[in-house]
């Protein structure tokens, strides 16, 4: 049995290819490896693929025991720090179970060098999403993961080309790019840049009108998809994340094409499939090298 672990914004999701469970990140601070028996007995686990934070100080799929600082440059920066992801990572590492960590996309990644104008393109769980979607849609795709934040990735000929991270372009419900007002608040000492990032989503920037907020996320997600399709016009389009079913009709209307829709388990299931391939001898995953 192979297991994928998604370190999401609000929850940790654990899945095999046919079973799953989740914990809030607060609940995950009490995680122990025996919790995985909700999926299968521990002695039946053949491999795990997990994520931790931004995954920005390594660029190859790597055993968890070989990482420095859990695979991140620093815990400081964009995002909410609770401790659930740290607990899960450390318990998996201590368990001795075969486990690899998935890197994020950043300046050290084998993506189109033009995307490296920005230091960070995507956190690692999105690679699980892209892998799951590629299994269904083929080697040319754009997938936008829309929920608390919005991140969109491009795959061409089976390789990750690049991505727009949450702090660059489209807002989600909670997070988004820092605009002029946010920069002024940071410069005035009213909040940190991380606080501003966590309050830049449509739930903070727009009136309490559910339809307007949803249509806004849909518009920007569609714009990210359209932008990435400039590099691969034949790419099929998919949506994932908690907002995917809600925004799909608007995104389809804006793009003028059908959009495949995936649920909140797409990342963890995709990571489980990555674990299966890695521990079966795969050398690369979507162009990312495996270093066992």
Domain ranges for the chain: 2-171+209-289
Confidence label for 250 from pLDDT (cuts 50, 70 and 90): very high
Average pLDDT on 127-147 reads 97
Average pLDDT on 103-124 reads 97
**Nearest alpha-carbon partner for 275 in 11, 60, 16:** 16
| pLDDT attached to residue 40 | 95
Q: Is the pLDDT of residue 51 over 90?
A: yes
Angstrom CA distances, 58 to 11, 110, 235, stand at 24, 12, 28
CATH H-level superfamily of 2-171+209-289: ATPase, nucleotide binding domain (3.30.420.40)
Which residue stretches of the chain are H helix? 84-95, 125-137, 180-187, 193-197, 202-205, 210-229, 244-255, 266-278
pTM: predicted TM-score of the whole model, two decimal places: 0.95
Average pLDDT on 253-264 reads 96
Cα separation, 192 vs 140, whole angstroms: 39
3-state secondary structure of 227: helix
8 Å CB contact between 259 and 251 = yes
Which residues in 27-60 are b (16+ Cβ under 10 Å) and which e? ebeebebebbeebeeeeebebbbbbbbbbbbbbb
């Amino acid at each position: 049995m192979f297991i994928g672990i998604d370190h999401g914004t609000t929850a940790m999701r654990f899945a095999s290819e046919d079973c799953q469970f989740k914990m809030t990140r607060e609940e995950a601070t009490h995680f122990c490896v025996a919790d995985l028996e909700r999926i299968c007995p521990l002695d039946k686990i053949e491999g795990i693929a997990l994520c931790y934070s931004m995954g920005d100080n390594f660029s190859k799929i790597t055993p968890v025991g070989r990482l420095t600082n859990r695979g991140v440059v620093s815990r400081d920066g964009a995002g909410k720090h609770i401790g659930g992801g740290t607990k899960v990572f450390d318990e998996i590492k201590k368990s001795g179970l075969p486990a690899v960590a998935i890197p994020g996309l950043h300046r050290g990644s084998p993506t189109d060098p033009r995307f490296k104008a920005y230091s960070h393109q995507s956190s690692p769980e999105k690679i699980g999403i892209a892998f799951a979607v590629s299994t269904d849609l083929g080697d040319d795709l754009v997938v936008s993961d829309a929920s608390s934040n919005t991140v969109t990735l491009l795959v061409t000929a089976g390789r990750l080309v690049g991505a727009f991270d949450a702090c660059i372009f489209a807002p989600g419900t909670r997070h988004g790019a820092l605009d002029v007002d946010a920069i002024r608040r940071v410069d005035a000492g009213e909040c940190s840049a991380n606080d501003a990032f966590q309050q830049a989503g449509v739930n903070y920037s727009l009136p309490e009108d559910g339809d307007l907020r949803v249509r806004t996320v849909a518009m920007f997600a569609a714009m990210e998809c359209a932008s990435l399709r400039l590099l691969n016009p034949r790419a099929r389009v998919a949506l994932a994340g908690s907002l995917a079913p809600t925004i799909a009709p608007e995104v389809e209307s804006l793009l003028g094409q059908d959009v495949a829709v995936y649920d909140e388990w797409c990342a963890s299931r995709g990571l489980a499939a990555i674990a299966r391939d890695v521990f079966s001898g795969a050398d690369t995953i979507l162009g990312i090298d495996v270093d066992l």
